[in-house]
Structure 1
Amino acid sequence: MAASESSVNSRARAAVAALFLTNGALFANMAPRLPELKRELELDTAGYGLLVTAWPVGAILAGLAAGALVRRFGSAQVAVVGTIVTGAALLAAGSAPGVVLVVLAFALGGAMDSITDVGQNAHGLVVQRRYGRSILNSFHALWSVGAVIGGLMAAGAIQMNLALPVHLGISMVLFAAVALTALKFCLPRSAELAVIEPVAPPAPGTAQAAAPAGSRGRLLLMMSALVLISVAGVMVEDAGNSWSTLYLGQLGAPAALAASGFIALVGAQFIGRILGDGMVNRFGQRGMAQFGGALIAIGMGLALFFPTVPGTLLGFAAAGFGSATLVPAVMDQADKLPGLPPGTGLSIVSWLMRLGFLFSPPLVGFLAENFGLRTDGVPDCGTCGACLFASAASRKPAERWNRGARKP
């Protein structure tokens, strides 16, 4: 790789990292202040539930449009515009006088967040192909760093008694500036198109041949495998987000220690993503998916069948580390599914994962209500078998990084 191209790639990598960090920080600035918003709007529990549900509903309604927007305008441009509008929607939610306007603002924010997510991942995958090795996990790790930064900003704003519109206005301006600066260093549209594998045109004078039934069947099989793997990762994250504190409390852990289940899972997931690129480059995505699935099964099994506080914390940590590389791997493979336009597979899988985040909590809640909270891990242990069905991932570590990579 020539020195000038190496410099361009390094700047593009830093720019994508900044976009991921910004995306993680934006909603994290709002999340700690949601109870304050509930009090100001005088919402009851049902109204608050409607409010927080508006974000994923907006994401689901708009998510499938992301692929078409990426193809039309470019992934970096879509990610940056989505970031700016997400920040503006959060500011509007924090400034709106009534619950209806807040719900609409949240729905818009969720829609833009889902489009941003596809755009930044699509651009990160383009940069990854130019590198010829895995770097996507590090971007997802920086999303977590951004979430921590956003949470700390919110905590500081609360401590300083900053009004919600002032706080969210500062957040919007700051991260819009970061996103616009990052856009200057992202790959140009021409370079992005250069690494997308072209589809051979039909021979002159002949009609476009329909895809063979076997090819369609294989595509459906690969997409199904990717969706199952992504759902496994989503449900593991939901176990930590929604149920770990309650489960540890039932085991007798004091309130302060009960929160450690979430910290153990997310902390181990962050470490797994920091180390993930090196492991993927060495062992391949298929090997890491199989290892991750096995580690999730061991971790959740340890938490469920040996219900002690230390065993549960260790189990959540193992599950977090096992799930760390699953979602980035799924996004990479979905973006390279044969027979689909660029961005389509990525949009579909991202959309289905958001459906998982929306429906996982009530599903696990139903099981917990009717069969006991220990069945929380049943979906995780069951769906982690999909991780072993990882034939859609690369067998060889470097087999597919170089496909479509730009030659020096």
Structure 2
Amino acid sequence: MTGLPTRTDRRARGAVMALFAVNGATYNSLVPRFPGLRDGLELSNTELGTAIAAFPGAALIVGVLAGPLIARFGSGRVAAGVSLGGAALLPLVALAPSWWALAGALFVLGISDAWTDAAMNAHGLVVQERYGRSIINGLHATWSVAAVGAGLVGAGAAGLGIPVTVHLAVVGVVLVVTSAVAWRAVLPPEHHTTPTGRPAGAGLRGVMTSWRTVAPLLAVAGLMVCSGAVEDSSASWGAVYLRDDLGAGAFVAGLPFVAFQVTMTVGRVAGDRVVDRFGAVRVARTGALVAAAALLAALLLAHPVAAVAGWALAGLGVATLFPLAFAAAGTVPGVRAGDGIAVVGFLARLGFLVTPPVIGSIADTSSVGTGLLLVPVAALGAAALAGALRSRPAGSAARGEPSGA
């Protein structure tokens, strides 16, 4: 697209940024409260990890349905509507009276997260093309800023002894209002056809039956599985590791997640320029290797300062992986952006599903630190799969959406 963005485009960019912020804050508001939720329900580490796995498990069961929903109603409306529903459900997690209730609440929240994730990324690609320049890393930077803020608020609330019900109720109200405002500013379906007039591409059935589309999507998804395992480690186990293995207090225990998100935000803010200069593959591969080395060193040193520093470097290392992977999935030849993103998002949550219970099981038989040794291995896997991010010809992208419901 040439020329300056219109007022409608700028409002849409603000709306999709708000949706990225809501998505970043929703689940991550829970992260610093996991140790307290575990102790309140008298769960083992394995039980906590299995309950957490219900969150990505929901995406594996119904996450791929985001593609047809986006094709039917438009990515903006799906993202805003489902985001609002997820924010409203957030306080229910704090009211869970048992493991089953906790896992069930996280499962429903996981459905909301999966659909919002696919829809907001698809809408971000629509807005990006209307701008005529890259904005996807900036959108993911907004997600990271919100995640950091949510982590700090959660850690502070835990340190001050504020009941988790009060904490999540207040956060939920703020996120519901933000989602409602974003609903009014997203691009309606009739604006979703890109200015270049690119075709909509194959639907979900085409994605699943053509090897020409399956192969690149599987490669991108594999990279996201490995990157997701690294990201999840700070969220699900950072606080537990520092508190149980290293004897840190409640506030310090929440810092690995916050440090990870802060540096990941910095990496995403600078990501578009760095990738333009050095290329997506080189940036992704180098970053993944940095993350692997930093986390391995932190676990071997076994000190709170080393743990915070290790996750901080890991956050910087994997900062661009998810934005680049979603962008790659949205430009697979002959595939609608919403379907491509939904499919890789569906597969990527395998990393979030498998990692928590495996680490929890190892932690119960040995230590959390021993279980976390799996994470540097996942980072090496991401480095090996970085070639999946090689750019494709601009004309091969399939970002169009239908003109209406």
Corresponding position of 1:230: 224
Corresponding position of 1:8: 8
Provide closer, same or farther for how the CA distance between residues 150 and 282 of structure 1 changes in structure 2, counting only shifts above 3 A. same
| 1:280 positional shift | 2.4
Corresponding position of 2:403: none
Higher relative contact order at CA 8 Å, sep ≥6: structure 1 or structure 2?
A: 2
Once the two structures are overlaid, the 10-residue window that deviates more, 351-360 or 301-310, is: 301-310
| 1:62 positional shift | 1.9
Match for 2:290 among 295, 300, 309?
A: 295
Please say if residues 297 and 384 of structure 1, whose CA atoms lie closer than 8 Å, have aligned partners that are also in contact.
no
| 1:115 positional shift | 0.6
| 1:106 positional shift | 3.0
Corresponding position of 2:377: 379
Please say if residues 93 and 102 of structure 2, whose CA atoms lie closer than 8 Å, have aligned partners that are also in contact.
yes
Letter in 2 for 1:70: I
Corresponding position of 1:19: 19
Corresponding position of 1:389: 387
Give the secondary-structure state (helix, strand or coil) at the position aligned to 1:65: helix
Please say if residues 134 and 278 of structure 1, whose CA atoms lie closer than 8 Å, have aligned partners that are also in contact.
no
Cα deviation digits, residues 168-224 of structure 1 (max 9, x gap): 4443332222112112222221221235730589xxxxxxxx99xxx9444333123
Structure 1 vs Structure 2 CA RMSD:
4.0
TM-score normalised to structure 2 length: 0.78
Provide closer, same or farther for how the CA distance between residues 157 and 308 of structure 1 changes in structure 2, counting only shifts above 3 A. closer
Does residue 197 in structure 1 map to residue 198 in structure 2?
yes
Percent identity (aligned) = 33
Does residue 59 in structure 1 map to residue 52 in structure 2?
no
Please say if residues 134 and 401 of structure 1, whose CA atoms lie closer than 8 Å, have aligned partners that are also in contact.
no
Cα deviation digits, residues 351-393 of structure 1 (max 9, x gap): 1221111102344567786895684355235403324423x42
In the alignment, the residues of structure 2 paired with residue 168 and residue 317 of structure 1 have an alpha-carbon distance, to the nearest angstrom, of 26
Once the two structures are overlaid, the 10-residue window that deviates more, 296-305 or 328-337, is: 296-305
Q: What 5-or-longer segments of structure 1 have no aligned partner?
A: 202-209
Does residue 271 in structure 1 map to residue 272 in structure 2?
no
Letter in 1 for 2:260: L
Does residue 322 in structure 1 map to residue 317 in structure 2?
yes
| 1:247 positional shift | 7.5
Bigger Rg, which one: 1
Corresponding position of 1:205: none
Match for 2:394 among 386, 389, 400?
A: 400
Provide closer, same or farther for how the CA distance between residues 286 and 242 of structure 1 changes in structure 2, counting only shifts above 3 A. same
Corresponding position of 1:344: 339
Q: What 5-or-longer segments of structure 2 have no aligned partner?
A: 401-405
In the alignment, the residues of structure 2 paired with residue 66 and residue 405 of structure 1 have an alpha-carbon distance, to the nearest angstrom, of 15
Provide closer, same or farther for how the CA distance between residues 313 and 276 of structure 1 changes in structure 2, counting only shifts above 3 A. same
Cα deviation digits, residues 43-68 of structure 1 (max 9, x gap): 54376555434333323222111111
In the alignment, the residues of structure 2 paired with residue 244 and residue 325 of structure 1 have an alpha-carbon distance, to the nearest angstrom, of 21
Cα deviation digits, residues 225-259 of structure 1 (max 9, x gap): 21222122122224444566787899x97736787
Give the secondary-structure state (helix, strand or coil) at the position aligned to 2:198: coil
TM-score normalised to structure 1 length: 0.78
Corresponding position of 1:204: none
Once the two structures are overlaid, the 10-residue window that deviates more, 318-327 or 171-180, is: 171-180
Aligned runs of 1:212-251 on 2, under 5 Å? 216-241=210-235
| 1:275 positional shift | 1.0
Give the secondary-structure state (helix, strand or coil) at the position aligned to 1:187: coil
